[in-house]
Structure 1
C-alpha cells in the first residue's frame, strides 16, 4: 500500500465515525485532487466532496450501489490514495451492492477493505463478501490499514528494487517438499549463504570426510523425510573420519532406507530460524525467531511482508533479540548482525520472485557467528 486512504460510506454520519477511527489509528486520509473531486461532483451531484466521501449525496432511489462503486473506483484512481475503505451500517437492498464491492476489490489495483457492521439484517451480504476476502468490522479494517500504512512508510521512495527473476528449477518442479542439496543450490543463487557440505554415498562417508576441517555433522538422507533429527539421522561434532564412518554404519543399521549422507561443517554461534509463509489472501511474509531445537517453543517472533528493506530486517532482529545478544550483551562477542540482515533481504527476494511456487519454507537453524550468517539446514514446500 502506497499513499493514504480513500474512504466511502452511504451514511453522512458514519463518514465522521470512520474519519475519527482512522485518525485515532494514525492512518492518514488522502487529500483528494481537484480532478477526483470534479468526477464525484459530476456523477454523484455532490456539491463539495470530501474524504471520507458521502456516496448518498445524490439520493436517487435504486442508484445507491452504483454511486458507491463509482466513488470507490474514482478514489482508487487518485495518485494520493493507496487503499480504499467502504464502511457501512445499514443499506437498502444490500444484494444490489455485493457484486459491485467484489468487483471493486478485484479490479481497483489497490488494497480494498469493506467494513460492514449492521448485525443480522446484513448477514447474507456480509457472508458473501467474507467469502471473497473483502469484509471486516471497522476496528479490524482500521488496524489492517494501520499495518499496511506503517509497512509502506519505509518504502516512500518507491520500490526497493526491480523484482528478482523466478528460479527456473523451482518453476518446473512438481508440488512437493524440497530439501538437501537441490534447495541449497537454489538458496545460493539468491545469495543466501549456506554451510559448506558434501553429498556422499552410503559406503563412502568415512573416506569422503578425509580432508575436511573437523568437527563435522553427518546427516542421513531418506526420501521425503524432512525432519532428520527426530529419526536419529543427525550426528553432531564428529571429530574425525573414523567417527564419521562409525556414525554412518550405526545410522544405516537402524535406517536401511538411507540413500546417502550429507557432510556439513560444524558451526557454532547464535541460532535463528528464518521462514517463508505464503498466504493465499495476504501474500508472502518472512518470519524470524530464535532457532534450533527450541524454534517451536519461542513466542518472540517477527513477521513482515515482502519485500523487506534493510531497515525492516533490522527491526525484525531487534524484536527477536531485544537484549542485544548479537550486539555484545554483557561482554559477549559482537556477532555479524549485518550478515543476518543481508540474509533476511535475500530470503525476501527468493520469496518475492517465487511467490507462485513457494507455499512455505524454513531455514533452521541459521547460525550467526562473529563474521557470518549461514543456513545450516532448510526445507521448502512447493505449491
Structure 2
C-alpha cells in the first residue's frame, strides 16, 4: 500500500472527491483541525501494516469533544502497536462524517482480462448480496452507465421510495478512477466506502497498491 502522502497526490491529481480530511502525526495539529470540523468526527490510522482498521481498534467514530479525540488518539496508538509492534504509521486521519448510501469502487489487474474495474453497493449490501458489476478497461460513459444499472441495487440508487442520489457524480467518479488506474503504475485500488447522496459522491477510505 502506498504512503498517505503519495495517495493524496494521486487524489489531487485526478480530482477524486474525498470527505473533509486532515492528517498528521502531531496531536496538537489534529486538535486544531478538529475544532474547525463539523461534529461528530472520525479518527483512524493510515498504515500499510494495518489494513482492517476497525477490526483491530484503530478507527473511532462519534467524536464530539477534545477529550474524546485525545482518548481515541491514545487508544489507536496502543492498539496499532499491540497488533503489530513494527507497524509503520504514516498518519492519523481525522475526517468529518459522510452521509448517503455506501458504495465500493475498486480496480485490479486480472490474469485473463487485464485491467478491470468493479462497482457495487457497500456496507451490509456487499456482504448480503455480493452485488457488484465488473468492466474491462478502457471504458466510455455508456459503459459506466450500464455498469451502474447492472447491479441489483440500482433500484435503490434510481430513487426507491423517493430517495434521490446523484448518479452523474457517481459516473464521473468511476470514470476518474478508471483513468487513474490506466495511467498510473498502480496494481490495485480499493475505495471502500464511498458515500453517495443527492448532491455528491465522497470517498471516505482509500487504498492504492503498487
**TM-score interval w.r.t. the shorter chain?**
0.7 to 0.9
Shift in Å, 1:363: 0.5
| Pair 1:323–1:380, CA change in 2 (3 A) | closer
Aligned position for 2:63: 238
Q: Which runs of 5+ in 1 are unaligned?
A: 1-176
Aligned position for 1:192: 16
Secondary structure (helix, strand or coil) at the match of 1:255 reads: helix
Shift in Å, 1:240: 3.0
Does residue 1:214 correspond to 2:39, yes or no? yes
Aligned pairs (5 A) from 1:1-383: 177-178=1-2, 180-204=4-28, 205-256=30-81, 259=89, 260-292=91-123, 295-332=126-163, 334-354=164-184, 357-382=185-210
List per-residue Cα deviations over 1:291-348 (Å, max 9, x = no partner).
236535542210001122111111111122545222221122x111110000011111
Q: In angstroms, what is the RMSD of aligned CA positions?
A: 2.2
Secondary structure (helix, strand or coil) at the match of 1:209 reads: helix
Aligned residues: 203
Secondary structure (helix, strand or coil) at the match of 2:130 reads: coil
| Pair 1:366–1:272, CA change in 2 (3 A) | same
Looking at CA atoms only, which structure, 1 or 2, has the larger radius of gyration? Answer: 1
Aligned position for 1:116: none
Q: Is the 8 A contact 1:300 1:319 kept in 2?
A: no
Counterpart CA distance in 2 for 1:341 and 1:370 is 13
User: Which structure is higher in RCO with an 8 Å CA cutoff and minimum separation 6?
Assistant: 2
Secondary structure (helix, strand or coil) at the match of 1:286 reads: strand
TM-score by length of 1: 0.49
The structure carrying a bigger strand percent of its residues is 2
Aligned position for 1:81: none
